Copies of this chain bind each other. A is one copy, B any other.
Amino acid sequence: MSDTSFNSDTALPDVTGMLCFSLYSAGHAFTQLYRPLLDKLDLTYPQYLVMVTLWNRDGQNVKELGRTLFLDSSTLTPLLKRLETAGLITRTRNPKDEREVLLHLTEAGRVLKSQAANIMRCVEDALGLDAETISAIKASVDRIRDKLRE
């Protein structure tokens, strides 16, 4: 075995040589980093992404939230119900269009926002990279994602 990233028969790359696996495992690594930080807020990582989105724009509906997060209602509905049960948001039908469910932060949900900045600081520290480097990598990853979603 002279080369670990290719197989002698058909030159098949190893997972460690595949971009898709890098993204897959880096995403998981982020979730692991966030876990102990979010445990204090009793939030999972996807729940945190929802909260961040609502902190930036309260009162949007499930569809709009899903467009931002690239998630559909079959993922969001149960997650949002858990946030509602936890007392962080309310889910109410839009009187103007009863098909829509409007999402609003409760006071408890708004209060939680004050701890988010601290969490983001912890994550930046763990990364230990300057803002320009992070921003450049992010732009590349966004480009990949947008290419794949075409």
Contacts and interface: CB of A to CB of B under 8 A. Distances in A.
Interface of A: 4, 7, 9-16, 18-34, 45, 49, 52-53, 55-56, 68-70, 113-114, 116-117, 120, 123, 126-129, 134, 136-138, 140-142, 144-145, 147-150
A68 B18 CA distance: 13
When all copies of this chain in the complex are counted, the total is: 2
Contacts of A21: 49, 69
A68 B16 contact: yes
Given A7-B56, A24-B31, A127-B144, 7 more contacts: A14-B53, A18-B52, A19-B138, A23-B141, A24-B27, A126-B147, A137-B141
A34 B20 contact: yes
A53 B143 CA distance: 27
A141 to B, nearest CB: 4
B56 A22 contact: no
A37 B6 CA distance: 22
Contact of A33 (B7, B13, B123, B148): B148
